[in-house]
A and B are shown apart, each in its own frame.
Chain A
Amino acid sequence: MTPADPPKHTGALARRESRLAWGLLLPTLLIVTLVVALPLLAIFWISFKPVGLADLRPTAPVISERFRMRDGDAQVEYRVRNSSQDKPINGLSFSDTLPEGARIVDLPAPCSVDGQRLTCVFGDVEGGFRDRVRIPVVIDLPENAAEALFEGSEPVGEGRADNILTNSEFTLDNFRRVFDGDEFVQVLWVTMFYTVFGTIGALLVGLFAALLLNKSFRGQGILRGLYLFPYVAPVIAVAFSWVTLFDPFSGSANALLIQMGVTESAINFFGQRPLALIMVTVFEIWRYFPLSFLFILARMQSIDSDMYEAADMDGASPFQKFWYLSLPQLLGILSVLFLLRFIWTFNKFDDIFLLTGGNAGTRTLTVNVYEQAFAISNIGAGAAVAVVIFACLICFAIFFFRFISREEGL
């Protein structure tokens, strides 16, 4: 008698199900690969390339055509130039179709004619190259009609130019520039300060708010809705409101503080070295406490009330109940929230960018990407910073998955 093993192969039904599953997932997979995976690879590629913002416009021949009558002689003029001032173009040429009935009187050196097709070849040219070709022609048409005919057919330029994004020129300069000295340490320290205090602050404030609303009373729903405002409103609106509120010249906060006698002169909240970073962190706490509040409240409302009744019987005081009963129950959600918010705060760009633009010692890694790539116009260096961010994230993610596999529930 053979032992009855479970079947090892997948049956037809299972195969069909798996096929259907992949079919359903295919669109998502495709689009995510296209817009997430490819750009990530591209970032690694670009980070090793000496690319500036100006290099994004590819080097190509620029050709313009003009027809004109000069002393009764018709003439076509082609102007050719290299769009780049410093990069050569190989095999530069252009071709154009001459209108029917046009006859060429004299053909200059680089050009040749095949039927109605005119081709001019310039070969390899340097950056900043420009030239003009004048071809006298004869045509039995009034000037305007002839002009329309000649200029109606667009000349087509050709030429191979080296594209910095696809050639094999690599450099480590970007990373050298990014890791260079004090600036990197400063950026890293700002990022860590912002992330750690922003996350912990939002958690604590959220916990406080959740404790306030964890009882039913009239108006609880309204308050809960109100406390979510900072998170729901567009970041651009609230960030500019803060900037207006704390403006050193026309800000109400300063006027208030001066009138209350807290300060003598106006404080430049977002433009002064240690204060700007603290303000930006406070903004982060203000904007994201609603999120932790919402999660913690949801978890609190699902805690069994039996426990508290038992504690009451045993004579536990309110703080003891919070410390020994609620907090351990909330520890799971708090740690998951901490990890997620930590990563998201680390990734935050909009808030700081809108509040200070990364000035006054608030430049985090993400703002540095923008700063390098667009303010200094060095895309390669921006990409290098992005690679550093990505490396940090991978570390976080590994830690996160170690952890979240135990803390299932989110």
Chain B
Amino acid sequence: MRLLRFGYVTGPGIGMLWALVIATTLAVALSFATGAGLRPTLWGALILGASCGLLVLRLGAVGYAFACGLAVVLTFSPIAPIMMEESFGSLWKGAVGLLLGLCVFGPLRIILDATPVGVLTRHEFEDAVIRFLTGFGYIFFTAIVLIPFYVMVMTSLKSQQALLQNPLDFSIDLRRGWSLFRSYFELFADFNFGTYLWTSFFISVVTVLITLAFSIPGAYAVARLRFSGRAAFSRSILLIYMVPMIVLALPIYIVFSMTGLRNSILGIVLIYPVTTIPVALYMLQGYFRGLPAEVEEAGLMDGLSRLAVIWKITLPLSLPALASVSLYVFMIAWNEFLLAFMLLDDPSKFTLTRGVAMLNSSEIPRQHLMAGAVIATVPIMAIFLGLERFMTKGLTAGSVKG
């Protein structure tokens, strides 16, 4: 460890790691963007990184020129940090080299900020390592989160032949205009997705309403009123939370088959709230506990009944919590797959998730499946981004639920 703590060891060392990260990231990003083959190479990246590390320590801002120059030269040499196919012209190669130089050197200046050339204190060394890890973390997380969604959206815009020809080529031909969205039009025209969208929306909203109607009184009772069995009840809510749906789904399937509730929206609306009531109850009772009891007592003193207190005082005070709970429950109902899959067979009554599951067959082209996935994702994402504050709160409060 002691050996590592010299500026001229730490600098190039971190530089090499960083250059590897950047070379891989750029290669992957450019491959995904252009469909052409780019390949990061170990030795090129190591040389570039080590030199950039030394340049940062020695030169500061002037080093940009040297780093970019070196990166461009290396890109044209046999040990290019990013190998490119012959089809790339020199202009392209130069641009990639320049970009590489900038992306390696710029962040390295921040990572190795205030790192001396000679012996490092433990502080300085660890700070540099942490800054490197932070930079790596941002790239890593952004990449792993974005890539699947990028693939989902781009695949839905391609044609089957294009996909099989070059699976990497996600570039889209804007000249095709509206016909880019052909899969979407076909889903809505031939596969009833408009109906599914509406069914899913309807079921989710009804589930939210029923859940609130049941869980508000229950949560209030658990949070405020004294009765024997309160602690046991509180616990059993959590316990119900832990029963896996597949265990319940089997008997529910049997009963629904026998009573004819299978394949009906009514059956789904009956069963969804039950999966969400415990969550909602748990979240709401936590919030109700946090409300000052004095306000309610004042209401009681002024002659309101308990129910009137709930209606006129507690509920208006807990509107933000209700919003969080509603959004969370909406999300669960919208994303629910297992019950919809088991209980619905009739294509005219599918929810969106069930409809997307139907598209997963060898006869239906992949881009239709991905277009279906996009249709299922976009509404919930729009809600999430629009109301992120409430949503995040809801997730934190109730999210023992998987």
Contacts and interface: CB of A to CB of B under 8 A. Distances in A.
B214 A28 contact: yes
A237 B356 contact: yes
Given A46-B254, A233-B377, A240-B356, A393 B227 contact: no
Contacts of B392: 224, 228, 294
Interface centre among B130, B233, B399 (most CB of A within 10 A): B399
A344 B401 CA distance: 7
Interface residues of A, number: 99
A34 B281 CA distance: 17
At the interface, is chain B mostly helix, strand, loop or mixed? helix
B316 interface: no
Interface stretch (A70-78, A99-107, A129-137, A249-257): A249-257
A35 B126 contact: no
A227 interface: yes
Interface string A238-264: 101110110101111011100111000
B303 interface: no
Interface in B83-101: none
Given A42-B251, A236-B337, A241-B151, A28 B215 contact: yes
Contacts of B221: 20-22, 24-25
A248 B306 CA distance: 63
Given A14-B226, A230-B145, A252-B167, A212 B381 contact: no
Interface in B118-141: 122-123, 126-127, 130, 134, 137-138, 141
Given A32-B277, A259-B31, A25 B233 contact: yes
B360 interface: yes
B391 interface: yes
A42 B248 CA distance: 9
Interface in A208-228: 208-209, 211-212, 221, 223-228
Contact of B214 (A27, A347, A350, A397): A27
Contacts of A231: 395
Interface string A365-395: 0100110010000010011001001100100
Interface string A292-306: 001100100000000
Interface string B202-224: 00000000000111011011100
A36 B214 contact: no
B31 to A, nearest CB: 6
Contact of B164 (A20, A46, A250, A254): A250
A157 B218 CA distance: 47
Nearest to B218: A28
A370 B251 contact: no
A149 B402 CA distance: 59
Given A212-B134, A340-B400, A232 B218 contact: no
Contacts of B54: none
B279 interface: no
Contact of B384 (A232, A238, A396): A232
Interface size class of B (residues with CB under 8 A): 35 or more
A165 B141 CA distance: 51
Contacts of A254: 167
A397 B242 contact: yes
Nearest to A383: B250
A349 B246 contact: yes
Given A56-B258, A397-B242, A373 B250 contact: yes
Interface string B381-402: 1001100100110011001111
Nearest to B366: A244
A370 B246 CA distance: 8
Nearest to B247: A386
A233 B149 CA distance: 10
Contacts of A252: 32, 151, 167-168, 170
B9 to A, nearest CB: 18
A244 B246 CA distance: 26
Interface stretch (B10-18, B105-113, B368-376): B368-376
A391 to B, nearest CB: 11
Contacts of B281: 28
B215 to A, nearest CB: 7
Interface in B357-373: 357, 360, 366, 369-370, 373
Given A17-B226, A46-B254, A294-B399, A241 B127 contact: no
Given A165-B254, A241-B151, A245-B151, A18 B138 contact: no
Contacts of A230: 145, 148
A369 B254 contact: no
Nearest to A36: B240
B4 interface: no
26 contacts: A21-B230, A22-B227, A24-B221, A32-B274, A208-B137, A227-B145, A228-B384, A229-B381, A234-B334, A234-B335, A234-B377, A236-B357, A237-B356, A237-B377, A241-B148, A244-B151, A254-B167, A255-B166, A256-B31, A260-B39, A288-B402, A294-B396, A347-B242, A354-B337, A366-B246, A383-B251
